[in-house]
Amino acid sequence: MSNFLANQNWRYATKQFDASKKISDADFNTLKEAVRLSASSYGLQPYKVVIVENPELREKLKGAAWGQTQITDASHLFIFANDLSLDAGSVDKYISNISEVRGVPVDALGGFSDMMKNVISNLSEDAKHIWTAKQTYLALGNLLNAAAELKIDATPMEGFNAAQFNEILGFDKLGLNASVIATVGYRHDDDKSQHQKKVRKSHEELFITL
């Protein structure tokens, strides 16, 4: 745990990446597995994670992110897109996966399935959008923590035009919405932010014990 906390102190939201440095395949696969294993409500994972490698596409996305260079200079760009088409069929697919992985008959999962379907069916479209978008942040957190453990820099970013991202990536046709993004790679030697002390609330200010 001491290493985990040290790595959390080491990480920061990198402002300038070294475009010449790329993440190894082994580390990249570890990051993806960390995202895959992330917690989510009911384990549904109501999102897709799109990894953009195409330079021309990333250049277009940079324009929809107010020219932030992390989009093009980082080794990899992760886009967490929440599922706008979550429905009973999504639950059925998840239940089938549980049945196959755990060797449990689908019929034995009927109560769990009905409960999830009932929750989803009672959500308005706006509430469903908010709920699925929140799940992407759990996966983002896993990515940031895994990257820090590997001494890979990562920057979570909300500073982008989601509507433009959706259009560029064709998300509108897929029932997806760009919720939050993250750039991962290696900090540039010239990035002055790496030398700044981390600023967080004190224990006394942050935590309330009842």
Task: Supply the mean pLDDT for the chain.
Answer: 97
Average pLDDT over residues 182-200: 97
pLDDT band at 1 (very low <50, low <70, confident <90, very high): confident
Q: CA-CA distance, 127 to 176, in Å (whole number)?
A: 15
Residue 157 corresponds to which amino acid?
M
**What's the pLDDT at 39?**
98
pLDDT in tens, 146-174: 999 999 999 999 999 999 999 999 999 99
CB atoms under 10 Å from CB of 133, counted, come to 21
Looking at residue 32, its pLDDT comes to 98
CA dist 81 and 51 (Å) reads 11
List the helix and strand counts (H, then E) for the chain: 10, 4
Q: How many residues does the chain have?
A: 210
- Per the CB < 8 A criterion, the answer to whether 143 and 184 are in contact is yes
Whether 2 shows a pLDDT value over 90: the answer reads: no
> What does pTM read for this prediction?
0.96
Return the pLDDT at 40.
98
Mean pLDDT of 187-204: 97
Could you tell me if 23 and 152 are in contact, meaning their C-beta atoms sit under 8 angstroms apart?
yes
Task: List the domain boundaries for the chain.
Answer: 2-89+123-206
Residue 156 burial by Cβ neighbours in a 10 Å radius (0-12, 13-18, 19+) = middle
Tell whether domain 2-89+123-206 is in CATH 3.40.109.10: yes
How would you list the strands of the sheet with 153-157, edge to edge? 47-52, 76-83, 176-185, 153-157
CA distances from 51 to 70, 76, 184, 194 (A): 14, 7, 11, 25
Q: Report yes or no: 155 and 43 within 8 Å, Cβ to Cβ.
A: no
